[in-house]
Amino acid sequence: MQRPSRALSLLLPLLIAPPVVAQTTTTPPPKGAELSWSSGASRIGAFTSRAWANRGKGVTIAVVDTGLRTDHAEFRGALTGGYNAFTGATGASAVADTNGHGSHVASLAAGRADGVGMAGVASLANILPIQVFQGPTTASSLIARGISYATAQKAFIINLSLGAPSPDTSIRSAMQAAQKAGQLMVVAAGNEGAANPSWPARHASEAWANGQIIAVGAVDSANKIASFSNRAGDAANFYLVAPGTGLIGAYHTSPTTYASMSGTSMASPIVAGAAAVIKSAWPYLTARNTAEILFRTATDLGDKGTDAVYGRGLLNLEKALLPVGGVTAVGATGAAPLALTPTTSGQVTSGARTAAAAAGLFTGAVFDSFGRDFGFDFSRLNQTLRGDGVLMLHDSLNERMSGARNARAGSSRYLETGLRRRFDSIGEEAAQLPLGIMMFQSGKTGRWALSSGASSPILDLAAAPSGTPAPRLTGYQGHTVLFGPEAMTLAAAQDLTPNLRLRFGGRLRESVEGDYALTGSGDVIARATGLEAGVAYRTDRLSLSADISRIRETGSRLGDIDVSAFALRGRANTTALNLSAGVRLGKTTSLTGHLTGTVSAAQSGAVGSLVRDVSRTTSLGYSVNLARNDLLVSGDSFEVAAGTPLTSRSGAMSMILAVGADPLTGAPILSDRRISLKGPALERRLEMSYVRPIDRDGSLGIALLSRFDADGAPGREDHSALVRFIRRF
């Protein structure tokens, strides 16, 4: 009978006595002396937050070795039975360690973290000690018997810190049975400095092993292959390296004795402990998947990629606890890859979505390519476009100050361009046209305009009595927020009588990926089109107007760009009603009110979306404006406005998302969520602007804005001020 030798450490044990420290009621990660004595576990990331949250709890590691010092402090509460392959006896009393090797190995894998001595990689894992050695060598049949016992006891991980120069039939048969039973075997590569692992580690590359055997080599403190360690060789695809020099672990001479040892025997339990941590975090993982995760997340050493020295690389437990491969979200229509393209919440629903995120209603789980679940806050995919007060004031002043004052008569057709020519016959709406507008007059009663930006000189001309200043601070309450600054508008107006005007037109907005996503390919991801018609009645004392709009959005709803986890099926159809009224308070003063209401039809979620459906949604916004010209000097303008922006007032979004995985099967656990689209508060705005000419070519603008319950967040205030001076050359 062949007598394979155990993979002995190359250095003689250095006996160490642990310091006595005060115990705490909780178990924090090791620190101080315990941390310094746990260098192997620390170097592979065993004490990071993710690893520490699991620590191998509920997983059994069978240590097929010299037995165990069962009363050692490092094994308090860790043992689950025991087996003596020599006598067939079971229980902890049957595996007394007379050598120290088995105790040291077991503590590196699963020594308790108690503030004393050292801590293993999986400090909450169960240890099943199996004694197959009582000296430096043993019989192959005893090793095979020990492996078979571990298989019968359903130990998920079997650590074999042993080796021989040639394979043995009985050991291979026992390992094949363990493989079929779904167990993971972690085997020391050997200490001969050879080009290939010793046996049985070398079985890892054989087809029957099915990726369930990990051959383990040792690296030194500089992560260089240890001089004594056998290399990866022909088992490179199934070979890892781990710290294996100068590691401190439990020793057999007393319950408080420790020793420093080196060898692939020490590296192997470091990997076994890491496998236990992975398995405890996701109990449904198979042995093959557990091993593959460790292989794929190893830190590359030596030649790039898998090589004949380091194999797959250095064990990296911290990385192994992160998602591997593509990440999948499971929602209303099943599993789908989690897109990196973020969604964007506009102002209409931002308050409701922000409140839902704060309440944890977007918190669920995603799954990696191995089916492991990871907690994920899906609100991270949502970029809420919070209002920027200074930017709002800049846009407001820019519109008010961008037009030239000079008027000039002309023929029956005129062009208004970026050169800011002004024509009296176009009417009051041309008094302050910003850049980016072309406006044409057709006869005495018709006109049309092509404009870029958020407003149209025809469709968005606020109602004010003839001869009084038109209010400008009205954009925030209207449906134009669904189009934004990238919109293009074509509109026409026809005077039916001197006091009655018909107006109609269309709008288009296209949002490209570069505006909202992590990468800017320029692909159009959202589009909104709108058709509008309305009528306006104006006298020198009273003004009334009413407009109705039909808006169709693709890839968005109420201005929210939803193209990934929150994508909706088909188009969002919204009907908007705009009402305005104004009265003259003086020769150069007007008071106006504006009300916008919208109704958006229900929609269902797209394939791969977390959204099941969105119900019918209503939104409302209003403003009251006081405007006066020639307040302090001739040609100046003053306006103050109060109101609330267009905000969703009713509706709900229903979601189905995974919140975890069944610990036995790995099947996603689904949860129904209902997100109210009525926010917890309505933003209220108070805005003031004053513009005055300095000379013929210069003007000065001052604007103030206060927002209360800003962005729909109760108690949030935002106050902004802006001063702007423009001179044209």
Asked whether 569 and 292 are in contact (CB, 8 A), the reply is: no
Lowest mean pLDDT across 380-384, 574-578, 701-705:
380-384
Q: Is residue 719 among the annotated active site residues?
A: no
Q: Is residue 456 among the annotated active site residues?
A: no
Residue type, 198: S
**Does the pLDDT at position 345 exceed 80?**
no
Question: Given pLDDT bands bounded at 50, 70 and 90, which one contains residue 234?
Answer: very high
Question: Given pLDDT bands bounded at 50, 70 and 90, which one contains residue 597?
Answer: very high
Ordered domains of the chain (ranges, CATH): 14-320 (3.40.50.200), 384-727 (2.40.160)
Which entry of 205, 265, 564, 699 is annotated as an active-site residue? 265
Higher pLDDT pick, 521 / 38: 38
**Does the pLDDT at position 76 exceed 90?**
yes
Q: Is residue 402 among the annotated active site residues?
A: no
Give residue 475's pLDDT: 61
pLDDT in tens, 609-657: 899 999 999 999 999 999 999 999 998 999 999 999 999 999 999 999 9
Report the alpha-carbon distance of residue 661 to residue 592 in Å, rounded: 57
pLDDT in tens, 562-573: 767 888 999 999
Give residue 341's pLDDT: 55
- Across the range 210-239, mean pLDDT stands at 98
Which of 175, 62, 188 minimizes the C-alpha distance to 129? 62
Mean pLDDT of the chain, nearest integer: 86
Report the alpha-carbon distance of residue 162 to residue 135 in Å, rounded: 12
Which entry of 9, 38, 42, 65 is annotated as an active-site residue? 65
Alpha helices (runs of H) in 331-489, residue ranges in sequence order? 350-358, 389-401
pLDDT in tens, 639-651: 999 999 999 999 9
**Does the pLDDT at position 374 exceed 80?**
yes
Of all residues in the chain, what percent carry a pLDDT higher than 70? 83
Higher pLDDT pick, 206 / 437: 206
Give residue 403's pLDDT: 45
Question: Given pLDDT bands bounded at 50, 70 and 90, which one contains residue 440?
Answer: low
pLDDT in tens, 316-335: 999 999 999 988 888 877 77
Looking only at the bridges linking them, the beta strands covering 126-131 and 668-676 are unpaired
Lowest mean pLDDT across 7-21, 82-96, 125-139:
7-21
**Does the pLDDT at position 692 exceed 60?**
yes
Higher pLDDT pick, 143 / 438: 143
**Does the pLDDT at position 424 exceed 70?**
no
Lowest mean pLDDT across 17-26, 83-92, 279-288, 598-607:
17-26
Question: Given pLDDT bands bounded at 50, 70 and 90, which one contains residue 415?
Answer: very low
Give residue 434's pLDDT: 46
Instruction: Reply yes or no: is the peptide bond before residue 200 cis, omega within 30 of 0.
Output: yes
Give residue 449's pLDDT: 85
**Does the pLDDT at position 438 exceed 90?**
no
Distance of CA 59 to the CA centre of its chain: 30
Give residue 399's pLDDT: 63
Which entry of 72, 101, 104, 252 is annotated as an active-site residue? 101
Higher pLDDT pick, 516 / 527: 527
- Indicate the SS3 state at residue 540: coil
Higher pLDDT pick, 443 / 195: 195
Give residue 401's pLDDT: 63
